[in-house]
Amino acid sequence: MNKLCVIGLGYIGLPTAVMFASHGLEVIGVDINQEVVDGLNNGVSHVDEPNLYETLNQVLESGKLKVKTSPETADAFIIAVPTPFTPMKLCNLSYVISAAESIVPHLKKGNLVILESTVAPKTTEDVVLPILAKSGLDVGEEIYLAHCPERVLPGKIMYELIHNNRIIGGINEISIRKAAELYGIFVEGELLYTNATTAEMSKLMENTFRDVNIALANELTKICDKIGINTWEVIKLANKHPRVNIHNPGPGVGGHCLAVDPYFIIEKAPEEAKIISMAREINNSMPEYVVSKVDELLYYAAGTPKIAVLGITYKGNTNDLRESPAVEIVDMLINKGYDVVVYDPYASCKRFAMASLEDAVKDADCMLILADHDEFKHMDIANITSTMRQKIIFDTKNCIENTEGFDGLLYKIGDGRCALTRV
Ligand code: SAJ
């Protein structure tokens, strides 16, 4: 195995291409976006990931990685293109299909094709395989096909690519062997062999497991709220049991994985996927729940209350806005007539009024924390809130640790207190 073509140079494809190139393969990175290709050829990465930049420049300089807009012949092809969901919450395979079609003219006997993109079960066998067969080669006998889903966490991609276990889901034994040979070049975690459809389902279930468990925590929050007890205390005590791990409630579930992958299972078995569907519904209901709590907290506020939103990303310490519940919450608050100003040290959103922390908080009636950036955890709360009109903090991420000197109201999601009566 000498030459590899990676189709799709996004969050996963680019680090993967760089990783293989830095381990000695001749890699052709392909992206349909000319701007991305031009940028990379000038050493500018559109993916901001720790430790990626240096290695990227090394492999570009050494010529091990070449970046272009169309594929060419190689020994192996990796497809790592996005699989967004359609408005009907179905897996949109258009990028996977066009990526697979783009390599067909370049396929030759002995080639290996890997699908890394997260897809609904059976996509490798029912969608990708027939496309590759158009080459006239026998898929399974003359060319090999596997689904090897990525499982890395943004922010730790370069580390996790090497150290995580990797599922190798081949359409037959020889495909598994060939794919294992490829990933064995740099993967230090365990290589886990299975068939393609099982690999697809395992990847989806990892994120679905997390989504369902977060839904359980969010449901618990609503229940504790009704009963009048503190959710965080319940979770802390229950998690003292050695086999219990209740997740954290919050303003909802975002990102391109947990908020998307469960739908790919629901799509295949809507009647059976009851808990999975319900979990999606519960997590999707959290923005509305947060807004109802803001309404309660600001019930007595005069005029048009000003809300300073801290954090617009889908989770802490990232600039990623995809499926962010915070964006939905801000939209809802604006539609309700609140004056909303957003501060985020990592990201900006053109649709909203963004400001510095000081300006966002000045004269505000409520500080609403929607992402747990480290910066927020260690804020000097007493000082920062001193210019607020009403010192009300609503912490939906339970991230404020130090309240020394703060004389206002700190309300946390799952607090169990009626927000209205506390003001
Ligand atoms: N969240 C909660 N409560 C929690 C944990 C998370 O409300 O207790 C929220 C977060 O705020 C965020 C969302 O869930 O909005 C998702 O965050 P996350 O950190 O759980 O997941 P991702 O989407 O950043 O990354 C996941 C990871 N999957 C798992 O941990 C099973 C990662 O390993 C995968 O590679 C990635 O999805 C992916 O690409 O599939």
Ligand 1 centroid to Cα of residue 252, in Å, is 11
Which pLDDT does position 279 carry in this prediction?
98
Which pLDDT does position 419 carry in this prediction?
59
Q: Which residues, listed in sequence order, are joined to residue 91 by a DSSP beta bridge?
A: 85
Ligand 1 atom with minimal separation from the 154 CA: 24
Of 395, 423, 421, 412, nearest to 233 (Cα)?
Answer: 412
What is the model's pTM? 0.93
In this structure, the number of other CB atoms found within 10 A of the CB of residue 204 comes to: 26
Of 161, 196, 201, 203, nearest to 182 (Cα)?
Answer: 161
Ligand 1 centroid to Cα of residue 141, in Å, is 38
Ligand 1 centroid to Cα of residue 218, in Å, is 15
Unique residue bearing structure tokens 């365990």 = 190
As given in the structure block, the two tokens for residue 296 are 């309660």
Instruction: Tell me the CA distances in angstroms from 290 to 173, 307, 334, one per residue in order.
Output: 50, 13, 14
79 in ligand 1 pocket by Cβ < 6 Å? no
Report the SS3 class of residue 74. coil
The parts of the chain modelled with pLDDT lower than 70 are 418-423
Which pLDDT does position 402 carry in this prediction?
85
58 in ligand 1 pocket by Cβ < 6 Å? no
**Residue of 265, 315, 396, 413 to test ligand 1 pocket, by largest number of atoms within 8 Å of CB:** 315
Which pLDDT does position 417 carry in this prediction?
77
Distance CA 389, CA 419 (A): 18
Unique residue bearing structure tokens 């000695």 = 24
Annotate 353-371 with b (16+ C-beta within 10 A) or e (fewer): ebeebeebbbebbbbbbbb
**Residue of 49, 153, 412 to test ligand 1 pocket, by largest number of atoms within 8 Å of CB:** 153
As given in the structure block, the two tokens for residue 304 are 């048009």
**Residue of 16, 258, 264 to test ligand 1 pocket, by largest number of atoms within 8 Å of CB:** 258
Strands 76-79 vs 3-7: parallel, antiparallel or unpaired: parallel
388 in ligand 1 pocket by Cβ < 6 Å? no
In this structure, the number of other CB atoms found within 10 A of the CB of residue 346 comes to: 17
153 in ligand 1 pocket by Cβ < 6 Å? yes
Q: Which residues are catalytic?
A: 203, 257
156 in ligand 1 pocket by Cβ < 6 Å? no
CB-CB contact of 148 with 116 (8 Å): yes
Distance CA 86, CA 158 (A): 30
CB-CB contact of 325 with 251 (8 Å): yes
DSSP letters for 264-326: HHHHH-TTT-HHHHHHHHHHHTHHHHHHHHHHHHTTT--SS-EEEEE--SSSTT----TT-HH
Which pLDDT does position 176 carry in this prediction?
98
Q: Residue 244 corresponds to which amino acid?
A: V
The residue whose C-alpha atom lies closest to atom 18 belonging to ligand 1 is: 258
| Phi-psi map region of 255: left, alpha, beta (phi>0 left; psi -120 to 50 alpha) | left
397: burial class by Cβ within 10 Å (0-12, 13-18, 19+)? buried
Distance CA 213, CA 178 (A): 36
CB-CB contact of 64 with 96 (8 Å): no
The 8-class DSSP code of residue 137 comes to S
Distance CA 225, CA 220 (A): 8
Ligand 1 centroid to Cα of residue 109, in Å, is 40
The 8-class DSSP code of residue 298 comes to T
Which pLDDT does position 423 carry in this prediction?
42
As given in the structure block, the two tokens for residue 162 are 């090497």
Which pLDDT does position 262 carry in this prediction?
97
